[in-house]
């Protein structure tokens, strides 16, 4: 199985309790936790890793810590609001030995498809393509990448694959069909679609929830590889239950809460939750602590 065919966990990046700086000790604890499992790799500074909160020197330090510490392949999130920032991060990630580059389009400002094509071409030209460049489609947070743009960049060799977090089943179906005609790395970032996506061989996933419960995603993936539909349906049910909580909060808040409960890694939110959401989060804590033992038992029986 190649690097991009299995389960990749998107790591959280804990913040210091009294500042917006990264808590590197807490981050290394997260890396250590994930490296105990046979994941295909870990993703650093993706959406779950709150990459937008850190300046370039901080991001470079986080990548360096991850690459030195991790016993698994490291995919570097190198997204920035500018081309120059993306190139600087990507070049450094390649230099220190990261195994792949995850690149969103520039965020915040709106750009058209021709600008996005130019952006990815320039990243590929200036960084090189020896390390796979994955276009990261997540339209909830940044500019959408049209399917014909993805296909053109793949044919040109500017990108080696795509992570799609749109949650659009029809879009994933299109990408899967295209992949049968011309192989490329395809990773699903929408956990609710995993069961259908994993019916097709060679497709991986990058999941923030897998950071909190890697056992569940590895067991789920294994059951799909074995075509064990009964077990896959049961494990997918657990995934869907977690997704229901995930959707109640700002980005990955429940993943951070679950990591705090499992590993005692404090991951404070970048923006305080409202009183109502704090109450809801307390409900999640109780639910997760009751839910997790059954999940781990089910995963152990699926091994």
User: Given the structure tokens 């429940």, which residue do they identify?
Assistant: 254
Of the candidates 189, 215, 221, 185, the residue with the CA atom closest to the CA atom of residue 203: 185
What pLDDT score does 302 carry? 54
Q: Under a CB-based contact definition with an 8 Å cutoff, are residues 163 and 179 in contact?
A: no
What pLDDT score does 105 carry? 97
pLDDT tens sequence across 109-145? 999 999 999 999 999 999 998 899 999 999 999 999 9
Cα 90 to Cα 159: distance, rounded to the nearest angstrom: 13
What pLDDT score does 268 carry? 82
Q: Under a CB-based contact definition with an 8 Å cutoff, are residues 189 and 164 in contact?
A: yes
- In degrees and rounded to multiples of 5, residue 95 shows phi and psi of -60, -40
pLDDT tens sequence across 199-241? 999 999 999 999 999 999 999 999 999 999 999 999 999 999 9
**Cα dist from 270 to 10, 17, 111, 140, 165, whole Å:** 17, 10, 27, 18, 22
Query: Which residue range(s) make up the domain with 285?
Result: 3-301
Q: What is the DSSP letter of 97?
A: T
Read off the CATH number of the domain in which 119 is found.
Answer: 3.20.20.70
The SS3 of residue 204 is strand
Q: Under a CB-based contact definition with an 8 Å cutoff, are residues 86 and 103 in contact?
A: yes
Q: Under a CB-based contact definition with an 8 Å cutoff, are residues 206 and 187 in contact?
A: yes
Q: DSSP for 162-180, please give it.
A: EEE-S--HHHHHHHHHHHH
Instruction: State the SS3 of 221-249.
Output: HHHHHCCCHHHHHHHHHHHHHHHHHHCCC
User: Given the structure tokens 């993943």, which residue do they identify?
Assistant: 255
Q: Under a CB-based contact definition with an 8 Å cutoff, are residues 303 and 219 in contact?
A: yes
What pLDDT score does 13 carry? 94
What pLDDT score does 149 carry? 98
What pLDDT score does 190 carry? 97
Cα 67 to Cα 211: distance, rounded to the nearest angstrom: 17
Torsion of CA 202, 303, 66, 164, to 10 degrees: 30
What pLDDT score does 17 carry? 78
Report how many domains make up the chain. 1
Residues of the chain with pLDDT under 70: 1, 302-303
What pLDDT score does 16 carry? 86
Q: Under a CB-based contact definition with an 8 Å cutoff, are residues 129 and 160 in contact?
A: yes
**Cα dist from 128 to 34, 76, 87, 91, whole Å:** 29, 15, 10, 9
Is the entire prediction scored with pTM above 0.75?
yes
The tokens describing 195, both together, are: 């069961």
């Amino acid at each position: 199985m190649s690097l991009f065919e299995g389960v990749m966990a998107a790591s959280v990046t804990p913040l210091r309790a009294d500042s917006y700086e990264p808590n590197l000790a807490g981050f290394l604890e997260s890396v250590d936790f994930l490296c105990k499992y046979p994941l295909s790799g870990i993703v650093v500074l993706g959406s779950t890793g709150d990459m937008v909160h850190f300046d370039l020197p901080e991001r470079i330090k986080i990548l360096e810590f991850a690459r030195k510490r991790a016993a698994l392949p490291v995919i570097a999130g190198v997204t920035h609001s500018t081309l120059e920032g993306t190139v600087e991060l990507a070049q450094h990630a390649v230099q220190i030995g990261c195994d792949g580059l995850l690149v969103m389009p520039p965020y915040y400002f709106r750009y058209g498809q021709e600008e996005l094509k130019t952006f990815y071409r320039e990243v590929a030209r200036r960084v090189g393509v020896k390390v796979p460049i994955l276009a990261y489609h997540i339209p909830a947070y940044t500019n959408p990448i049209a399917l014909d743009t993805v296909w053109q960049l793949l044919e040109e060799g500017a990108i080696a694959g795509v992570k799609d977090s749109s949650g659009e089943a029809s879009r994933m179906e299109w990408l899967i069909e295209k992949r049968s005609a011309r192989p490329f790395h395809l990773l699903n970032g929408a956990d609710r679609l995993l069961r259908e996506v994993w019916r097709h061989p060679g497709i991986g996933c990058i999941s923030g929830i897998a950071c909190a419960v890697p056992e569940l995603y590895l067991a789920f993936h294994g059951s799909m590889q074995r075509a064990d539909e009964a077990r896959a349906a049961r494990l997918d049910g657990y995934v869907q239950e977690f997704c229901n909580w995930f959707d109640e909060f700002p980005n990955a808040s429940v993943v951070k809460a679950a990591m705090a409960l499992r590993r005692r890694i404090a991951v404070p939110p970048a923006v305080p939750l409202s009183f109502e959401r704090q109450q809801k989060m307390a409900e999640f804590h109780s639910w997760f602590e009751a839910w997790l033992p059954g999940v781990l038992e089910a995963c152990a029986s699926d091994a």
